Amino acid sequence: MSGFAHAVAFLTRLPMPRRWLLGDHRTSPMWYPVVGALLGLLLVCFDWLVARWFPQMVRAVLDVGCLVYLTGGLHLDGLMDTADGFGANRDSERTRQIMKDPRVGAMGVLAGVLALLLKTATLYYLLQYHVWNGAFAWASSVMLARFAAVVAIFVFPYAQAQGLGSGLKESLTLRRMNAASFFTILPLIWWWEWEGIALLGIVFVLTWYLGKTAVRRLGGCTGDIYGALIEGAEIAALLFFTLGVKLA
């Protein structure tokens, strides 16, 4: 329970009882897909509520805004920092400094705006096509994106010898990684069948590309990289579902 509570507290703004947060936080990555599923469920419920009162475009904007609120913009901040750092095309040390700078540069702003626009546009299209499938595509993308971060933590080194990320990686054993995979892959394939398998492949490719780039540019992954990966995986999943609808 402690690992799950820490995952909820870290990835969302949802309140957790203090006594649940007394245990070791390093076991929390195993629960990231479950937290993603929880976020997805909340988003489906929120979408059902606003669908009765607002037109489709406003509804899509409200849905995206709800996710940003529930996550505190944590992953969006990581995406913007990563865009600033990698977009500057500097050496490893200077790239780290740029990513740690609390100020957001032009590349970060562009990445953040583009991410929000892509989510809103694809969600609008999916909700027009089929209300429930659109909502569950939204929820599935949120769950799968958190799993992508778990894969990156497990596969790629952390950029710093000391820090929060290094402890998470050391505690993410093969057994816990298998549990996270079970929590993600089983419901994804059960609901989407072959589309779920194809989507997993796309997200694995994205994870591998961003992870290898981080290792080459920074010597490993960082919290900002994980955030950028989550945002990128959500967008990739929504684009995949949109393309599937378009080609159907």
Measuring CA to CA, how many Å separate 169 from each of 46, 74, 198, 215?
34, 20, 27, 15
Report which of residues 229 and 23 the model is more confident about.
Answer: 229
Note whether 213 and 92 are within 8 A (CB): no
pLDDT at 132: 60
> 221 CB contacts (<8 Å, ≥6 apart)?
152, 153, 156, 157, 158, 159, 165, 211, 214, 215
pLDDT band at 64 (very low <50, low <70, confident <90, very high): very high
pTM for the full predicted model: 0.93
Q: Of the given ranges (28-42, 154-168, 195-209, 225-239), which has the lowest mean pLDDT?
A: 154-168
When mean pLDDT is compared across 16-20, 121-125, 182-186, 201-205, the lowest value belongs to: 16-20
Rg value, the chain, Cα: 18
Q: Which two tokens stand for residue 222?
A: 């960082």
Which pLDDT score is estimated for 92? 77
Indicate the average pLDDT of the chain: 87
